[in-house]
Every structure is written in structure tokens, then in C-alpha cells.
Amino acid sequence: MEEQKVFTASAESKASAKQLRLFAFLAWLIAIAGEIFAIVKLIHNETLTWLIVAIIVILALSIVGSVLWKKANRLDPTSQQDKARFFVQSQLGAIMSVLAFLPLVIFIFANKNIDGKTKGIAGAVAVIALVIAGITGIDFNPPSIEKYSKEINAQTDSVKQINMGNDLVYWTPEGNKYHLYKDCYHIKGHTGLSQGTVKQAWESKKIAELCLTCEKRAMKEHNISTITPSSLSSPTSAAADSAK
């Protein structure tokens, strides 16, 4: 039985993920600082407008942080073996969003120095913002080393079926598909063309989908009518950010 391949993020992906996580934490820290400022300075009847403005800014920062964090996780996912760490890393966006809003919501409704109308308006806006930020922060399909490895192995098997047993593909720096033929018209004459295994295409550029033109050409050349179920067109291909 062929040894199963295990996904390993490239040094470039790890560096990019680290940078994205730093920016995500910066956005969250500013959001929490804004929350503290709102609690201390803005929970009064005469500052309702500014309180709502602060809530909107906190919401925007929370969403930005969550989006950056999810992108980082797709570049450098963690393992599902440590369930606690996997949960925290996958859902940190939702956790930080709660931290950025829940204390503010509590303070608004618990404050006795503002009237019912102001409390109702500010409280409703804060609750809605909390829900939006929380849902945005949740990763409903979190990536993991195991998921990536499973798809890499499935795609490798499928490529070998239609490529005479060869695990050799080509890709470009800007592409979101790998190719079986370097003279495929999508990449022919392209500068910076790389070649390697399906695993290397994944690890270097998160390229998770085979070029349909190459797939049809290979099946026709090798007289293959069908292939066994695979991940040639993987849902995770959405992680690839750029077009051919």
C-alpha cells in the first residue's frame, strides 16, 4: 500500500499566516480598546450617537480580524488531534467577537444612569452587532492538516489514474489549478512555471483543483472513460485566491 501523504504548510505559507494572524490580533485589540472606551466614556444619554458609531467601528474591526484569521488558518491549519487547540484556533474569530461586544452589552443594560429609550436603542444595536460579529467569526468548515492530507491523497490517486501512474503536475504563481501538460494553452509560455507533485502544488500555492482541459485531454489520450471517485474538483479549491 502506498504511503499516505501528510500536508505540511510551506515556509512561505507559514510566514503569510503569521503576518495575517498578527494583523487579526491588532484589529481585535483595537476593537476591545474601543469597547473599553465606549464603556467608560460613551454610555450616557447625551452620547448615544457616538456610542452607536463606536459599536459600528468595533463591529468592522471584529469582522476584519475574523476574516484575516480564517485566511491564516487556510494557509497554515492545525491538527484535529488536539481537539481543544483545534477548536480555539478554528473559532477564535467568534470568541474574540464575543469578548469585543458582550461586556459592552451587559454594561448598557445594567447601567442605571441612562433612560429606557437610550438603553433600548443602544442595547439593540449592540446585540445585533454581537450576533453579526459572532456569526462572521464562526468557521463552519474549518481546515485542518487531516482534511488537507485526505484531499491531497485523493487527488493524487485520481491524477495517477489518468496520468499513467505519474504524480507530476504543473502550476503558475497566479494560478488556482494544476495542470498535467506544460503545453496546456492555459499555461503555455507562462513565465515562472513550476512543476512537482499534487502535494507540492497544495503546499506551495494551495492549488487544489485539476485543470479541466488537461483532465479531458488525458482521459482521451489514454482511453479512460471513467475514474473512481476523487477530489479532482475539491471544495477546498475555494481556498485558492487567484485565477489562472
Q: What is the DSSP letter of 195?
A: E
What confidence tens digit (pLDDT) does each residue in 212-240 have? 999 999 999 988 877 665 544 444 443 33
Q: SS3 of 76, please?
A: coil
**In this structure, which amino acid lies at residue 90?**
S
Three-point CA angle 149, 153, 156, nearest 5°: 135
pLDDT-derived band at 125 (thresholds 50, 70, 90) equals very high
pLDDT of residue 18: 97
Number of neighbouring beta carbons within 10 Å of residue 144: 18
**Sequence-ordered alpha helix ranges (H) in 76-194:** 83-110, 116-137, 145-162
Q: Are 129 and 55 in contact (CB under 8 A)?
A: yes
pLDDT-derived band at 242 (thresholds 50, 70, 90) equals very low
As a whole-number percent, the residues of the chain with pLDDT over 90 amount to: 64
What confidence tens digit (pLDDT) does each residue in 24-76 have? 999 999 999 999 999 988 887 778 889 999 999 999 999 999 999 999 999 99
CA distances from 112 to 43, 100, 115, 232, 233 (A): 10, 22, 8, 60, 58
pLDDT of residue 183: 93
**In this structure, which amino acid lies at residue 18?**
K
Report which of residues 114 and 235 the model is more confident about: 114
pLDDT of residue 202: 86
pLDDT at 117 over 90: no
pLDDT at 190 over 60: yes
- Least Cα distance to 238 among 87, 74, 89 occurs for 74
User: Cα(24)–Cα(154) distance, rounded to whole angstroms?
Assistant: 33
Q: For the whole model, what pTM was predicted?
A: 0.82
Q: SS3 of 10, please?
A: coil
CA distances from 187 to 31, 40, 103, 162, 192 (A): 44, 58, 53, 19, 10
Burial environment of residue 218 by CB neighbours within 10 A (0 to 12, 13 to 18, 19 or more) = buried
User: Cα(65)–Cα(20) distance, rounded to whole angstroms?
Assistant: 9
Number of neighbouring beta carbons within 10 Å of residue 33: 13
pLDDT at 146 over 80: yes
